[in-house]
A and B are shown apart, each in its own frame.
Chain A
């Protein structure tokens, strides 16, 4: 079941093939992971694509010679052409620049909400799986969150807290924080369940027992043995989570409760362009394409990371 380097050796000192290489320093995990990650073609494509999209969204609107805010009605509803490669919207604004602008918020919401959701999910999952006495409580909490209808909650929370949070943090940042917390706080449950299941089976493995027999404290066991071994499903959950967060944000924006109108997001652009798709398909296809490309590259990166973090896949790759 193991590879050919692991034939049983004779008793006594095994002068393996690497005996000659004198190791001053033991191999570092980070170096190994990076070496393997670079070999994963899809992941490298994903990284390049994601970096391109991110840079485009951050710097693009500044570099393009278009005003993304002021309406120019005479310029409205142009099809794709020059200089507006994706045409213009109903107010005459360049839709390519608008799509890049929308990416700023969508990407930020996607990544931060995913981080919140994964952190919460791993925390709850590990605690529930590792500490028996917390299991019932935390899993019932998870069930509770799963049974909550997301949209009504979102509406209520936004209506209740939008004003005070915006007052203290400013319009844009306020709604961003609120949005990220709500999306992250309502999407951690599947991660928690996956992680709990993994932890339950890991906990019975003998290497955990070995660690306990040394007297390792629970928190260090979790950090050194449990978390590294649940990373694979977590990374998969994370790459799906980003897409989910971006989509949830667009759903909220569609209901008119998301970001203010002057801050476009991919979701809002899609919804706005929906009615004019026959006039200019790029109103929808543009942001949609960017959204799909982002989700895809994140999935590729997740795939590459998962392989790179698994020593078994590493030695075969």
Chain B
């Protein structure tokens, strides 16, 4: 089993620099049932996440990239136990989460939080900023009211807003400011791990940089670990230490950011990488784009063998037969391709 191999590899101190593993995901699957007919019987399933394994080290940022519908967001939600995993394990600070229920899980939740994609939908329109940020504090008995309010004001300052904003409602803010409120809520309980689910996708480009810089600043100050989900490859390169590429519910490549960007091994990563525009007009004019043919297959009915073989420019007959193994081709660089 490839997942076992991965566990052994990391346990055998193969991980560079003996970094502490904060989150260990093994063979994680999330299948959504497709129900049909008047008796709602199960006719199939959407394999949103179909067996992925990776580690995240403390203080690191893992970028998770891939096109729409490849299961990035679902991965984030399953890790935070907002969706029940179909199979596999999520180990956070040495504790297995997928089997946890009720109060045990509730005690872990403050340590892992989420920043959401849509700053317009992620804040309750009927609550003031103060009460939005207060919710996690109240739920986890942070302290008496005065103490909570002092911390809320501190948090607002920390994310670059003014304490005077505490009494306003979300609609009085711009997208970037709302995202800051969402970030303040996420870090309110001093989490160790934050899943950033496309936190900048809904923002203007000029605001994106501010939010990313804020995330970086907070990471330094609060020693946060991020899972940064995005489809913006340049932002991921800027922010992440390691990058994972997902395609159709599976991870196709995972490696240190420079290695993956300078020398992508999987044909899909290469195609993604070739789509990033270059700032230099000269090199931009020489940029060779790999245009993938066809559409992304339905995750309800993924192709046999390597799920990428239907669109892969270098596919061979065997790709349709054999599922490629998730193997480590160089230290901490993992690829799922027969020919990498």
Contacts and interface: CB of A to CB of B under 8 A. Distances in A.
Contact of B128 (A19, A26, A224): A26
B122 A206 contact: yes
Given A11-B214, A14-B162, A207 B171 contact: no
Q: Taking chain B's interface residues, is the majority helix, strand, or loop, or is none over half, making it mixed?
A: helix
A229 B126 contact: yes
A229 B109 contact: no
A207 B157 CA distance: 22
B124 A225 contact: yes
Contact of A8 (B109, B164, B174, B189): B174
Given A6-B177, A26-B149, A213 B80 contact: yes
Interface of B: 77, 80, 82, 105-106, 109-110, 113-114, 116-118, 121-128, 130-131, 135-136, 139-140, 149, 157, 160-167, 169, 171-177, 182, 185, 189, 204, 206-207, 210, 213-214
A312 B171 contact: yes
A168 interface: no
Interface of A: 2-3, 5-9, 11-16, 18-21, 23, 26-27, 29, 205-207, 209-216, 220, 224-225, 228-229, 309-312, 314-315
A239 to B, nearest CB: 20
A310 B210 CA distance: 30
A13 B162 contact: yes
A18 B164 contact: yes
A213 B113 contact: yes
B174 A228 contact: no
Contacts of B105: 215
B166 A26 contact: yes
Nearest to B213: A11
Given A6-B173, A213-B109, A215-B105, 18 more contacts: A3-B172, A6-B171, A6-B174, A8-B204, A13-B161, A16-B162, A29-B128, A205-B121, A207-B123, A210-B122, A210-B185, A214-B140, A224-B135, A229-B124, A310-B126, A311-B169, A312-B169, A312-B171
B121 A6 contact: no
A210 B131 CA distance: 13
A4 to B, nearest CB: 10
22 contacts: A3-B172, A8-B174, A8-B175, A8-B204, A9-B177, A13-B160, A15-B162, A23-B166, A23-B167, A206-B117, A206-B121, A210-B182, A210-B185, A213-B109, A214-B109, A214-B140, A215-B106, A215-B110, A220-B139, A224-B135, A225-B124, A228-B126
A214 B173 CA distance: 23
A14 to B, nearest CB: 5
Contact of A206 (B118, B164, B172): B118
A205 B139 CA distance: 20
Closest 6 CB pairs of A and B: A206-B122, A215-B106, A311-B169, A27-B167, A215-B109, A18-B164
Contacts of B164: 16, 18-21, 23
